[in-house]
Structure 1
Amino acid sequence: MDHVHASHPEIIKRLRRAHGHLAGVIAMIEEGRPCVDLAQQLQAVESAIANAKRTLIEDHMEHCIGDGVADGGKSAKAALAEFKALAKYL
């Protein structure tokens, strides 16, 4: 892997947990559980995924964009373009 951050193992853990949680929601639907319970559990899955995404983006902005500019590895223009590309996922 050539693009690994210190946060990636934690993000993987969160996504695996969300994956298991989503499988549980699917089972709940198949069991005919109440819609309110399903909506609550889907909200929890959605929140877990959103938190993983936020962590990934924040880490990338800090380490890839911020450190890259500070070290002279990226021009301000390139860093701004990369930030704009990420911003649509916030």
Structure 2
Amino acid sequence: MEIDKYALADVVVRLRRAQGQIGGIIQMIEDGRDCAEVITQLAAVSRALDRAGFKIIATGLEQCVKREDADPQQAEVDLARLEKLFLALA
């Protein structure tokens, strides 16, 4: 199942921000920063990645529901795949 890349523009922004945060975390570790600060930043990145994943799944579900010309069997397969992906993030 392909998802419209324009529908996921905000996901790309989130992922780029997370990418920057990860670089910052690496720098924190290399600088010997307090472990509590590092863990706090890791938790923030983890949440950002989870939200990006859930947004991708939500967008996929929305597109499945809106597709009027979809083959019912293919739509069922797509929904099953999305459910499996959702559970992988949960």
For normalisation by structure 2, the TM-score amounts to 0.83
Moved >2 Å (runs of 4+): 2-7
Please report how far the alpha carbon of residue 3 of structure 1 lies from its aligned counterpart in structure 2 after TM superposition: 4.8
SS at 1:32 equivalent: coil
Query: Identity over aligned residues, as a percent?
Result: 29
Say how many residue pairs are matched. 85
Pair 1:49 & 2:49 matched: yes
After superposition, residues 27-66 of structure 1 pair within 5 angstroms as 27-63=27-63, 65-66=64-65
1:15–1:48 CA contact under 8 A, matched in 2: yes
Match of 1:84 in 2: 80
1:7–1:59 CA contact under 8 A, matched in 2: yes
For normalisation by structure 1, the TM-score amounts to 0.83
Match of 2:17 in 1: 17
Write the distance in 2 (CA, Å) between the matches of 1:49 and 1:23. 14
- Note the residue ranges of structure 1 that are not aligned, 5 or more in a row: none
- Note the residue ranges of structure 2 that are not aligned, 5 or more in a row: none
Match of 2:69 in 1: 72
Corresponding letter in the other structure for 1:45: V
Please report how far the alpha carbon of residue 82 of structure 1 lies from its aligned counterpart in structure 2 after TM superposition: 1.3
